[in-house]
């Protein structure tokens, strides 16, 4: 038998196997209904850029994100900052509605916005350059921190989120190109969440350690009071948190749950049966000990005043493993709140003091930014500060 005939016969046999498998799958379903064609609406989704508040804060988080921080050169003044923000606001407006930015030589990459949001944050250094008093300041030192300069600080932040990684990459390139005359890239952190269609909208994100992350986020009217100031501004903390996966993998499921205070499968607190059941911190077990341990992450992060809640908007990261195969994984933790000093800092102090989860996580980056109000169609982000 010649080789060509043998290959042709093998190909036909393979096709038969595939067809048989498909038929078997149809029988297993108990019907002959054809499989629905995939939906292509994800790529065309548009979130408006203009408004009283910036998009990308309380917006349902897309699957992919890039956080890009910049450093301003010495001598930067208000006029330069104003020119920069006018240009970047125009870029963001065009890109988020599926149009190329001015001077974009790869326009076809811009036509699928995939719910793209571009959110701007101003660091303390930007306010100093503008001759203004900054509404935010660097976080105090926490004993658990092992901060690295390459992941910390920044005068300007761009948070770029979309349901498609190519959309994020293209928007990032366009925005960096137009920022280049005014500022230097300080760091870039990329992250991911579940892709569209994997869960119903509003689901709680799982991090790389398998935990549900963001169960206690504010909603409804509480969200308005906890996240936004009256003028439409907010404040952002970005923390890069390395997961010590080699140590975490040695734990039993019970040990993992005890460190958090929630069930790993459902996310329910120890005193409840569903994820969103309110934990009962006064409940005692048969030995008289608290059912919700004092050292558990949920206990340490709990706040009693809804106005003091923070909005967790995290993204996982997974870098290149080292030569021994140890992972470089963790969380780009983004926390939005109306007032960092009043809301975020007290929570982080309690976590740093006695959170058992600290045995398996390490903060290696930290930055704070004020998130200016949004702008009208004829305006630009930051005009109230820099105009």
DSSP-derived letter for residue 269 is B
Long-range Cβ pairs for the range 83-87 (8 Å, 24+): 83/182, 84/179, 84/181, 84/182, 84/183, 85/120, 85/380, 85/381, 85/382, 85/383, 85/386, 86/380, 87/178
Active site residue 280: no
d(CA 264, CA 276): 14
CB 79 within 8 A of CB 387: no
Q: Where are the beta strands (DSSP E) in the chain?
A: 64-71, 117-122, 156-162, 184-192, 205-206, 212-213, 234-243, 311-312, 315-318, 329-337, 361-371
Q: Name, in order, each residue with C-beta under 8 angstroms of 259's C-beta and a sequence gap of 6 or more.
A: 251, 296, 297, 356, 357, 359, 360
Helices (H) and strands (E) in the chain, counts: 11, 11
Which of 213, 221, 265, 328 is an active site residue? 213
- What does the block give as tokens for 51? 């408004």
d(CA 188, CA 151): 8
- What does the block give as tokens for 237? 């903390």
Q: Catalytic residue positions?
A: 213
């Amino acid at each position: 038998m010649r080789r060509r005939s043998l290959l042709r016969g093998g190909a036909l046999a393979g096709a038969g196997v595939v067809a048989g498998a498909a038929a078997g799958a149809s029988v297993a379903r108990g019907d002959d209904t054809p499989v629905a064609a995939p939906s292509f609406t994800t790529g065309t989704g548009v979130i408006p850029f203009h408004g009283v508040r910036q998009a990308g804060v309380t917006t349902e988080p897309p699957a992919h994100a890039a956080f890009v921080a910049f450093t301003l050169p010495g001598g930067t003044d208000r006029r330069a900052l104003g020119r920069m923000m006018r240009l970047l606001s125009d870029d963001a407006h065009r890109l988020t509605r599926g149009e190329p930015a001015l001077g974009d030589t790869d326009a076809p990459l811009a036509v699928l916005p995939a719910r793209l949001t571009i959110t701007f944050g101003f660091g303390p250094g930007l306010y100093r350059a503008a001759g203004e008093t900054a509404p935010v300041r660097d976080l105090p030192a926490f004993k658990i921190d092992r901060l690295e300069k390459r992941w910390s600080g920044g005068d300007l932040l761009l948070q770029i989120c979309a349901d498609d990684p190519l959309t994020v990459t293209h928007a990032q390139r366009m925005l960096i190109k137009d920022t280049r005359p005014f500022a230097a890239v300080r760091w870039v952190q990329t992250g991911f969440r579940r892709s569209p269609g994997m869960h119903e909208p509003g689901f709680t994100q799982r991090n790389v350690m398998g935990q549900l992350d963001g169960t206690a986020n504010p909603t409804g009217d509480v969200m308005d009071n906890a996240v936004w100031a009256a003028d439409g501004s907010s404040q952002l903390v970005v923390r890069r948190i390395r997961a010590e996966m080699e140590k975490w993998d040695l734990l039993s499921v019970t040990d993992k749950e005890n460190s958090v205070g929630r069930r790993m499968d459902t996310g329910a607190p120890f005193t409840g049966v569903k994820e969103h059941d309110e934990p009962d911190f006064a409940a005692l077990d048969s030995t008289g000990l608290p059912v919700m341990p004092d050292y558990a992450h949920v206990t340490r992060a709990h706040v009693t005043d809804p106005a003091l809640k923070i909005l967790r908007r995290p993204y996982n990261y997974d870098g290149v493993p080292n030569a021994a195969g140890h992972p470089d994984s963790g969380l780009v933790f983004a926390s939005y709140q109306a007032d960092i000093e009043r809301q975020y800092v007290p929570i982080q102090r309690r976590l740093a003091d006695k959170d058992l989860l600290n045995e398996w996580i390490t903060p290696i980056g930290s930055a704070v930014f004020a998130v200016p109000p949004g702008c009208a169609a004829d305006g630009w982000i930051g005009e109230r500060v820099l105009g």
